Amino acid sequence: MTSQEAQQRIGELGPWFYEFDLGKYGHTTSELPPDVLPIHQTRLAMVERVVDEHFRGRFDKIRCLDIGCHEGYYSIAMARKGLQEVRGIDVRASSLEKARFVADALSLRNIVYEERNCEDLGSDTTPYDLCLFLGVLYHLENPMLCLRNIGRITRELCILETQVVDEVEGLAEWGAREWTRPYRGILALIDESGEFYNQNAETGTSPMAACPSPKALHFMLRQAGFRRTEIIEPPRDAYEQHSRGKRVVCAAYK
């Protein structure tokens, strides 16, 4: 592939959500506003911090699954670290086409992409040492189903990033006035109809989404089989939502 052919292909595949440095082939330009673009660098920095600490010295033995991989921004980063195998899955063929182009342009041979839905991982039996689930959970109608699927195939670590809603605490009556149960956080139902019916590539596969509060996120991950969960501290120069705790990166350990 020549530089001219690469530039033509970049144009044909656009618009792009992520910015990729393709070396001699140039780069892609994100359609996101400049003030929103740092979300990707913040997320990647936090993910890499956890991955480097947990898997240091054995990258070449690690299998990674990037769930809802979009254009492959994070799976590409993992493949460039030298992981043994990286697999990215997404529901949108158009996003996967971009991911494959980037992987080919960077001559990455340890990465593959597949069109799948995270709700349909129930039949998978192959474990992955590392699962990435970034920017997806809060777009889902069935987040607990997906977390159970992911928990079952994660061998060591899942890194999850999600928007979160404000915490709500209290007691719910449970069968009678004197019988109560404490809230374990909440799921807020979000209407994404406008984006969904306009075929926005950043929505889920349904116009209804369920966004967790932080306590709900921890509780759901434990119910999905993770023994320990930890919210990762954002860097000083983090994207403003991460700095304010409106988006969180959570490491979940088996």
Q: How confident is the model at residue 141 (pLDDT cuts 50, 70, 90)?
A: very high
Q: What is the pLDDT of residues 44-89, one digit of tens each?
A: 999 999 999 999 999 999 999 999 999 999 999 999 999 999 999 9
Domain ranges of the chain: 3-253
Q: What is the mean pLDDT of residues 158-177?
A: 95
Q: What is the pLDDT of residues 182-237, one digit of tens each?
A: 988 999 999 988 887 887 777 777 889 999 999 999 999 999 999 999 999 999 99
pTM attached to this predicted model: 0.94
Three-state DSSP state, 128: strand
E strand or H helix that includes residue 76: helix 73-80
pLDDT the model gives residue 102: 98
CA distance 151 to 135: 17
What is the topology classification, in CATH, of domain 3-253? Answer: Rossmann fold (3.40.50)
E strand or H helix that includes residue 10: helix 3-13
CA distance 28 to 118: 27
Q: How confident is the model at residue 133 (pLDDT cuts 50, 70, 90)?
A: very high
Residue 37 has pLDDT above 80, yes or no: yes
E strand or H helix that includes residue 47: helix 38-55
